[in-house]
Amino acid sequence: MNPLAFASGAGKSALWTAHVGTTRLALCGLEMNEEQQENLFKQWLAQYDGLVGRVARAYAGNETDCEDLVQEVLLQLWRSLPRFEGRASPSTWVYRVALNTALTWKRGQRQRWRFQPLGEMSDRAEADDSAGDEPERINDLYLALRQLPKADAALVVLYLDGLSYREMAEVLGISETNVGVKLNRARKALAQLINPRVYDSRT
């Protein structure tokens, strides 16, 4: 299935499904000391590196910007840990931090420090692209995502990652009804960006 098909609501591409790893993590205690916080952060890095990489690639237009955005997300995720009370699932929390950071991130915003090791994290979003003849389609999809309004791109990323309307609403802080309306609009815009001639022939 090509990007246009799932942008139009015909189902999620197996290509994107392969692009996404399973992300589950047991909840930590509500009160964390410094060591527990550090351990939880390391767990989240191991569990959600692909998630962070995909979000960064959807908002950053080149490798350098993508790495910079990944670093900014990691910084904000670290800073957010003391506020994590387990009311939201870890994946919802990480999505929320990653997307909120991406929505406010500005190109050229760079941290002096670097999380280590990092290289494979910003590359994880592209790891599955190297096999077969699909890299061009994924690249086209990311290019189109970066042309959408930032809020619409966030919805599409969550949709392609397989989140339900309820989960998307929880991450973005909007109603499920709004998710449906906004997602339908975003899919149409994405389809037109990916292949305007095919889209126009269907409307």
Domains of the chain from N-terminus onward = 33-125 (1.10.1740.10), 131-203 (1.10.10.10)
pLDDT given for residue 138 in this prediction: 86
pLDDT digits (tens, 9 = 90+) for 128-151: 444 445 678 888 899 999 999 999
Distance between first and last Cα of the chain: 20
Q: Where are the alpha helices (DSSP H) in 23-164?
A: 34-59, 63-80, 90-104, 119-124, 135-145, 150-160
pLDDT given for residue 119 in this prediction: 42
Contacts of 104 by beta carbon, 8 Å cutoff, 6+ apart: none
- CB burial class (10 A; 0-12, 13-18, 19+) of residue 78? middle
Q: Are 115 and 53 in contact (CB under 8 A)?
A: no
> What pLDDT tens digit does each residue of the chain (203 aa) get?
444 444 545 555 555 555 453 333 334 445 677 888 889 999 999 999 999 999 999 999 888 899 999 999 999 999 999 888 888 899 999 999 999 999 999 866 555 445 544 444 444 444 444 444 567 888 889 999 999 999 999 999 999 999 999 999 999 999 999 999 999 999 999 999 987 644 444 44
Q: Are 199 and 4 in contact (CB under 8 A)?
A: yes
pLDDT digits (tens, 9 = 90+) for 65-96: 999 999 999 999 999 998 888 888 999 999 99
Contacts of 128 by beta carbon, 8 Å cutoff, 6+ apart: 15, 18, 19
3-state secondary structure (DSSP) of residue 100:
helix
10 Å Cβ neighbour count for 155?
26
10 Å Cβ neighbour count for 177?
10
Contacts of 3 by beta carbon, 8 Å cutoff, 6+ apart: 13, 137, 138, 140, 141, 144, 190, 194
Which H or E run contains 183?
Answer: helix 176-194
pLDDT given for residue 125 in this prediction: 46
